[in-house]
Structure 1
Amino acid sequence: MNLDFIAKPMGMLVELLYNMVSGLDSSYLSAYAIAIILSTIIFKLLMMPFTLKQSKSMKKMQELNPKIKELQEKYGKDPQTLQRKQMELYKEANYSPFSGCLPMLIQFPILISFFYVIRSPEIYVFDNQQAYDVINKTFLWIRDLSFAENYVYESGIINGISMGMAIPFIGAALPILAAVSAFTTYLTTKMTSQPAMNEQQEATQRSMNMMMPVMIFIFGLQFPAGLALYWVVSNIFQLVQQYIVMNSSKNPKEELK
């Protein structure tokens, strides 16, 4: 799927933000890192109408879960009747079990295009490799967001570029950002998981809740650290949003209208 038509405008947004905060560039927090953080927040704000709809749908499902459990206990041996009763319950509560799918489908290509931008900023943000190579790309303990977090640098410099070697998984220090990416992914998957309808679904959901953080941790060690920074900021934003929605005092049925 070629998403250049979406990735290029997002790259322009990152470039705009980078130029706006270039005066804040420092040896510990680069303007490039700040631009990634701000663009992630703006992206999440733009997606908020869709994610709020999805979050409210999850809240409604949690409200219905006790009644669904009762139906499962009563009609568990009759799948057809159970399915019919569940649909009647959904209709009565004015809830669609597919109401959370559309927001996910809308967000997916935009998420992928944002991934393109952060993975290849020399193409979508800075127009050429040379312009990207010369900018400051530090973030706290990470020397260069364009490399994986476990990248080990040598003391030598060739043609103005620091040369190094990658040690799989460990590197020169603990991969903190990759670990935070995995942990926040675990929290978001737990918080946004729909109540399981049966034991098989519950087991599948439990496996996914464990596999996703592990995958994200491995990706955090293989891809540029800028992507891990984007992922952490995105997850934190989602966690705060989900917490506010799930603890809202409003009637979930009214929220879905």
Structure 2
Amino acid sequence: MINFLGNIMGSILRYVYTFVSSVLPSEPSYISYYAIAIIITSIIFKLILLPISLKQINSSRRMTELQPLIKEIQTKYKSDPKTMQVKMQELYKEHQYNPASGCLVLIIQMPIIFAFFAVFRDPATYAFTDPGMYESMAKNFFWISNLDLSDPYLWGLPLLAGLTTYVQSITMMSANPNADPSTQSTQKIMNIMLPFIIFISARGFAAGLALYWVISNIFSIIQQLIVNRSVKKAGGQKK
């Protein structure tokens, strides 16, 4: 599955690279065609996943809205698990909510994300398969001489990867201000741990993979801010 999807994602990267190199009259000295292709392909990838991402966001928001009713049922029928389960199912049916939808969306996304990681770990296998093509390409990106190697500076892409992961987590958390306190507590811990893990990991990543991660996060942050604003506006209109 990963190899199949990786070949598809690799074909997209190859096509974008070919397009960029044909449109630009000459390759900029500070940013290679390959770096530009990674940025554009990352955005295309996020656009492909946009309907799935929006469905996941909506599922999370619906779950938060139902939390008060869920807690009420849990408190009322805590000594009668069978009745509690029946009432929970009735609640979900009444509000047309599938509690498994969020997990299903995540399961759909994961193979695609892993495939994209595979492409950026080994572009010569999945994207640039012509003998010698990948080896002969320029791969510089501003201060990075070769995107195949890790970023030489801690303040570069590793720090940006960690910071954008943190900002993305915060914007997602702000979308559910009425979430269960235990959920919020867990989320706050993850908001600290995950960016740190990403920062440490990105120090060993190929810089091309770290660049993809940063661009992907920036897209997600903008997407979440737009969704948050739309939800807030819709809520204000209802009042």
Scaled by the length of structure 1, the TM-score of the pair is: 0.76
* CA–CA separation in structure 1 for the residues paired with 2:114 and 2:145: 26
Confirm or deny that 1:125 pairs with 2:136.
no
Amino acid at match of 2:42: T
Match of 1:147 among 133, 146, 149: 149
Structure 1 82/210 Cα, relative in aligned 2: closer, same or farther at 3 Å?
farther
* CA–CA separation in structure 1 for the residues paired with 2:212 and 2:107: 20
- The structural deviation recorded for 1:126 is 1.7
Match of 1:192 among 150, 155, 172: 172
Question: SS in structure 2 opposite 1:248?
Answer: helix
- The structural deviation recorded for 1:204 is 3.4
* CA–CA separation in structure 2 for the residues paired with 1:147 and 1:129: 20
- The structural deviation recorded for 1:148 is 0.2
- The structural deviation recorded for 1:188 is 2.2
Structure 1 213/145 Cα, relative in aligned 2: closer, same or farther at 3 Å?
same
Q: Which residue of 1 aligns with 2:156?
A: 176
Q: Which residue of 2 aligns with 1:164?
A: none
CA contact (8 A) 1:196 1:205 kept: no
Report Cα offsets for 1:23-81 as digits up to 9, x if no partner. 35211111101101111111111111111111112222333345556667x54965847
* CA–CA separation in structure 2 for the residues paired with 1:237 and 1:103: 18
Give me the identity figure in percent.
Answer: 44
CA contact (8 A) 1:31 1:136 kept: yes
Q: Which residue of 1 aligns with 2:3?
A: 4
Structure 1 31/55 Cα, relative in aligned 2: closer, same or farther at 3 Å?
same
Amino acid at match of 1:221: R
Which runs of structure 2 are paired with 1:86-105 in the superposition (5 Å)? 86-105=88-107
Amino acid at match of 2:16: L
Q: Which residue of 2 aligns with 1:14?
A: 13
Which range is displaced more, 55-64 or 81-90? 81-90
Question: SS in structure 1 opposite 2:36?
Answer: helix
Counting helix residues as a fraction of each chain, which structure ranks higher? 2
Structure 1 197/46 Cα, relative in aligned 2: closer, same or farther at 3 Å?
same
- The structural deviation recorded for 1:205 is 3.2
Amino acid at match of 2:10: G
Amino acid at match of 1:52: L
Amino acid at match of 1:224: A
Structure 1 137/185 Cα, relative in aligned 2: closer, same or farther at 3 Å?
same
Counting strand residues as a fraction of each chain, which structure ranks higher? 1
- The structural deviation recorded for 1:210 is 2.0
Q: Which residue of 1 aligns with 2:212?
A: 230
* CA–CA separation in structure 2 for the residues paired with 1:179 and 1:6: 29
Structure 1 219/174 Cα, relative in aligned 2: closer, same or farther at 3 Å?
closer
Match of 2:201 among 219, 222, 225: 219
Query: Unaligned stretches of 5+ in structure 2?
Result: none
* CA–CA separation in structure 1 for the residues paired with 2:65 and 2:17: 44
Report Cα offsets for 1:164-188 as digits up to 9, x if no partner. xxxxxxxxx3332111111111222
Amino acid at match of 1:214: F
Confirm or deny that 1:210 pairs with 2:231.
no
Report Cα offsets for 1:184-210 as digits up to 9, x if no partner. 1122233335665463x4443333222
* CA–CA separation in structure 1 for the residues paired with 2:27 and 2:204: 26
CA contact (8 A) 2:154 2:203 kept: no
* CA–CA separation in structure 2 for the residues paired with 1:41 and 1:174: 24
Question: SS in structure 2 opposite 1:222?
Answer: coil
CA contact (8 A) 2:64 2:179 kept: no
Scaled by the length of structure 2, the TM-score of the pair is: 0.81
- The structural deviation recorded for 1:131 is 2.3
Structure 1 98/190 Cα, relative in aligned 2: closer, same or farther at 3 Å?
farther
Question: SS in structure 2 opposite 1:100?
Answer: helix
* CA–CA separation in structure 2 for the residues paired with 1:28 and 1:82: 62
- The structural deviation recorded for 1:142 is 1.6
Confirm or deny that 1:248 pairs with 2:218.
no
